[in-house]
Structures are given as structure tokens and as C-alpha cells.
Amino acid sequence: MIPYIDRIESLIEKINPDLLDLRMPRDRGRPPSQVSSEFLTNKEQGDWAEKTLLEAINSNSSEFVAVPYGKSDDIIAGDDRFKEFYEAYQDELDSIGKRPDILIFYKKDLDGVDVSNLTDEVVSKAKCGIEVRSSSFISQKYEAVMQERYDALVKSIFDNIRLIKRDYADVLKSKDLDLYNRVTSISEENIHSVSFTCRSWKSSKELVEVSSILKEIKQALKEIQTKRFHLSITPKVEDLKVVYNWVKKYKVPHYYVQVFFDRAYGISFERILELISNPDNEEKMFFVEGDVKNQNKMVIKIQSTLEKQLLDEVSIPHHFSAMRELSRGNLLFYVKFDRSDAVLKKDSFNSLFGIDL
């Protein structure tokens, strides 16, 4: 079997450098001068997602153990030592890459090991690393609402096509037969790709009316074709660069897990590269958002429900307000979260990570 790092290198060679160019220098971040309550809440939510996944893994395995590995320092912009902390973190990104939030080991490989200070030798023994992302949605509710919206758009398109066939066929055929044929040939199979030029005729009452109907069809098609009706796993392009550096150093398989407030989905770093290395997958299997003029600020979005579901029945966490006083005396109020209970889907987990919990 081809070694993991060789497979990663081979995929990277196939990726359009305009999307992901590992030869382009990483933008060394500048330390922010201030922090907001929203930032602190998002940080707490990320910690909640990590703890929820950790507990779900560890409560389901006798042979493996998941341990926290990512940066856990509680220093933020506005603290006295933040600038030094931030620069040290940038140095680490340049030297070893971005640490995954969680490492999974065979328990026997951690006998007598201080897991709060893992050496390079120990890290290289990890079965895998996991980058945990959180998302502020109840995914099943979002999907139900968006499915209802999608169904309404499809219904409106075909209702309007039937209306054209019934009441305006002769007038539209006479005015533009090609347009009539194009619109009336719209189907479930081509609804995501078909397009037509919309006219604004005004020379008769019937043409004004059919112009309005055609505009409604075109607007509904545009929404169906450009709006995403699903939630996503969201790796950042700039993070993929430093994830690659970590993978290259330690030769440990890497994964992303996106945790919602009811479920969680996972995908391997290798599959992400497979998807984005094939241009035919863009706008189908993955989408790109962000600043196209600044590659490092782009985000890859991959439909979560097409990947492995790892957690189910995630409970809404108990949450409460907290306050933080910064060095200059300004106060920030934010939300903290307790860990949630969750059901680990062991078959999906084992299939994705190649282990047997």
C-alpha cells in the first residue's frame, strides 16, 4: 500500500495552485489588538465541541484513548502577555504546522506518558489527529426548513410551466419558439443547470403576463442553482497549508470533524484533497467562498451529510453567562457551555478512522 504521506503529496500535485498553492508563503498573522464577547463565545463553543467529541470517543473504547493536543492557553488579546504568546504560536505554525485539537492513541502507547506535554516521538505514534470545528446550528432543523424552501421553489417552477403550456403556449411559440421549447423542457434532471434569457415584452397583455411568469421561473432557478440548501464541513485554505506541514512532519493521518448542536460529521484530510484536486467536483461536491484575491482567506465548504456521521443525539448543552476582566479594566460578557452527551456511531467512526473502538 502507498504510504499515507506519499498519497497526500500525490494529491497536492494535482490541485490547481490558484486554489491551494503550498509553495505560496503562509501569511504570518498579526496579533489582534482587541477581543470581543463574540470571539470568546465562539472559543467556548469550540471547546464544547472538542470536549463532547473527546468524551464520546473515550466512553466507547477500551483499547484507544483520545487526548487534547491543540493550543489550550487561556490568553487573549488585551492580556499583558498576549503579543509574546501570539508570536510564539506563529513560530510553532511555521515549524511544525497546526496541531490537531485531538489525538487518538492506543492506550498502551501512552503508558507513563505526560499527555499535557507530548514529545515528537510520542505524537508520531498517534493513530490519527482530529481538527474539531463547531457550527451554531441544529442541523436537522436547518435541513428540514431548507428542504421545505427547495420543494416550494421546484413546485413554483413546474406550476408556472404548466400555466405557460395551458394559457400562453400559442403566444410564446409565436414570439420565441426556442424559448418556449427551452422553458417547457425543464425537468427534475436538468433543473440545476438549465438557463434562459428572460425577455420583457410589452406589446400585448398576454406578452406582459408571460414575461412576468418567465421572470418568476428564472428567479426560482437562480436560487436553486446558487443557494446551498445544506450545511458544510468548513476547512480554511490557510489551515490546510499548516495541517499539511503537521502531517508531513509526523506522518499521522488527519481528519476534520464538524460538530453541530445535534449531530457531528467527519471527513479525512486525504478526502478533502481528493475532492478539491478534481475541478469537476467544484460547485457539486465542494464550494469555495472568501476573498479570491487572497487565497489564504478562502474557505472550502463540503456538504456534511455526504460524509460520515459520527455523533447523533447531541444534547443541547447547559449554558451560562460569564465575565472576563482584561488588563485595562474593560469587561467582556460571554457564554460558556457544559459538555454535551452524545451517541457515537461506532460503525461510521471505525470506517472513517480505520480503527475498531
- pLDDT bracket for residue 80 (50, 70, 90): confident
Encode pLDDT of 95-111 as tens digits.
999 999 999 999 999 98
The residue whose grid cell reads 499535557 is 116
Alpha helices, DSSP H only, in the chain?
Answer: 4-14, 37-58, 82-95, 120-123, 139-163, 169-175, 177-184, 205-226, 237-250, 269-276, 346-353
Question: 289 - beta bridge partners?
Answer: 299
DSSP string, 106-125: EGGGGTT--TTS--HHHHTT
Ordered by start, the domain boundaries in the chain are: 4-137+231-353, 141-226
pLDDT at 326: 82
What is the fold, at CATH topology level, of the domain defined by 4-137+231-353? Answer: Trna Endonuclease; Chain: A, domain 1 (3.40.1350)
Encode pLDDT of 319-331 as tens digits.
999 999 887 788 9
Phi, psi of 28 (to 5 degrees): -75, 120
Lowest-confidence range among 63-77, 116-130, 200-214, 261-275?
63-77
pLDDT at 296: 57
Which among 129, 114, 73 has a CA at the least distance from the CA of 245?
129
What lies within 8 Å, CB to CB, of 326 at 6+ separation is: 35, 76, 78, 79, 332
Considering the entire predicted model, what is its pTM? 0.91
